[in-house]
Amino acid sequence: MFSPGWRSRPSGQQPESNELGGENVHRRAARGALIVGVAATLVLAGCGDKKTDSKSSSESGSETSTGLSIQPELQVDLEGKEVPATNASSAANPAGDGTAKCDPVSIAMAGALTGEDAALGINIIDGVKLALDQHNKANPGCQVELKKFDTEGNPEKATQVIPNVINDKSVIGLVGPAFSGETKATGQTLSDAGLVSVTSSATNAKLTQNGWKTFFRGLANDDIQGPAVAKYLTGTLGYNKVCVVQDNTDYGTGLAKAVTEALGSAADENCAASIKKGDKDFNATVTKLKSANAQAIFYSGYYAEAAALAASLKKNGVNAVFVSADGSNDPEFVKQAGSASKDAILSCPCGPAPDKFKAEYKALNGQDPGVYSVEAYDLTTILLKGIDSGKVTRADLLEFVRSYDGPGLARQYKWNENGELSTALIWVYKVK
């Protein structure tokens, strides 16, 4: 997933940072709302107004007012063929054996916690919170705190925020950055600081080609997602004419390129189109797509524009199947697109939440898990396992992650020398 690059926070306003110490309920972030940082161990306020709530469950089946929800269909490989799901019963447990001892340390999360696409960042931080809550309750002798840093998903903002993470000497590991644009802008800085950075969502394939020493991706990149989705469309579904529409973010352009190349002759270049992040008027694009009479339209971008585009297509009588990827795989897409989202296909390198995880997550956060919640939980668990084993410096925790090999709820986590997973697959979801 990539950085949309929206408006920055007013000059001089600092990123949020607060600690986790048995928090029970997370205030839901509305569009444009601020998440208020408070003192350590303070219980956050109750759930926000549901009319402006920006987060719900993508893979849990929670229904919107339309009665529609995003449901997992199957896991596929690079050829678009079904692969059995991972058995979560052997996944690492953040609670460990309850005997861990350590001096107080912190881990950080950096990503979009406010702004138009904040739901994606909040899904991540709530997964982090669950792992930390389970660990801290089970291990009174080793309390690990959470510090939150809001980048708004903006690469420029992230370059101001990440130095604050690095300069906090209590922070020995980072979950994030969340989006690829902000990761691209700060990866070298994090590498130079020796701070391990595990991302549950940044999928730009080129991120691991920069020579960074501390970056580890916890899911498949877009050079895997693109071909897997394309082959699923042309192979399993038999489509031979697909229009590819992209936004102008690193995410949108990178994923669209991978999808287009893998579609081959099925990608109709005459109906390929580009929009800008933040666009609301899609009339010219819709007219072009309508005249193409394609079987499917693949949109490479984020849920705000995906929803508006899907609604406009439906309103103008375009019957092609709407397809998008992880940037759109959020209940906000269904909420904003309404009935126009029905039967949309949404891919994701993220896995669906197991039932036990769903129940525990909802009990803590007041909402069902969403896209990337499971990956965030798994990656936080890995950091916690390192801390529990005595790896409480940045250098030691980095080496622990580099050599890690173990099962999580979503998949097996083992990285190659570039920080890519040894094995990574893609899930296909459908709105129904």
Confidence label for 158 from pLDDT (cuts 50, 70 and 90): very high
Q: What is the predicted pLDDT for the residue at 6? A: 33
Percent of the chain predicted with pLDDT > 90: 79
- Burial of residue 240 (CB within 10 Å: 0-12, 13-18, 19+) is middle
Q: What is the model's pTM?
A: 0.78
Q: How far is CA 345 from CA 96, 213, 246, in A?
A: 38, 36, 16
373-432 pLDDT per residue, tens: 999 999 999 999 999 999 999 999 999 999 999 999 999 999 999 999 998 899 999 999
Q: State the Rg of the chain over Cα.
A: 20
Confidence label for 250 from pLDDT (cuts 50, 70 and 90): confident
Please state, in angstroms and rounded to a whole number, the distance separating the CA atoms of residues 161 and 175.
14
Please state, in angstroms and rounded to a whole number, the distance separating the CA atoms of residues 303 and 300.
10
Domain spans, the chain: 70-83+222-348, 88-219+353-422
- Number of C-beta neighbours around residue 312 at 10 A: 19
Q: What is the predicted pLDDT for the residue at 139? A: 98
**SS3 assignment for the chain:** CCCCCCCCCCCCCCCCCCCCCCCCCCCCCCCCCCCCCCCCCCCCCCCCCCCCCCCCCCCCCCCCCCCCCEEEEEEECCCCCEECCCCHHHCCCCCCCCCCCCCCEEEEEEECCCCCCHHHHHHHHHHHHHHHHHHHHHCCCCCEEEEEEECCCCHHHHHHHHHHHHHCCCEEEEECCCCHHHHHHHHHHHHHHCCEEEECCCCCHHHHHCCCCCEEECCCCHHHHHHHHHHHHHHHCCCCCEEEEECCCHHHHHHHHHHHHHHHHHECHHHCEECCCCCCCCHHHHHHHHHHCCCEEEEECCHHHHHHHHHHHHHCCCCCEEEECCCCCCHHHHHHHHHHHCCCEEEECCCCCCHHHHHHHHHHHCCCCCCCHHHHHHHHHHHHHHHHCCCCCHHHHHHHHHCCEEECCCCEEEECCCCCECCCCEEEEEEC
User: What CATH code is assigned to 88-219+353-422?
Assistant: 3.40.50.2300
Average pLDDT over every residue of 318-345: 96
CATH superfamily of the domain spanning 70-83+222-348:
Response regulator (3.40.50.2300)
Q: What is the predicted pLDDT for the residue at 291? A: 97
Average pLDDT over every residue of 242-249: 96
Average pLDDT over every residue of 237-263: 96
Please state, in angstroms and rounded to a whole number, the distance separating the CA atoms of residues 297 and 319.
10
pLDDT at 80 > cutoff 80: yes
* Domains 70-83+222-348 and 88-219+353-422 alike in fold: yes
pLDDT at 19 > cutoff 90: no
Give yes or no for a contact between 424 and 349, defined as CB atoms under 8 angstroms apart: yes
265-287 pLDDT per residue, tens: 999 999 999 999 999 899 999 99
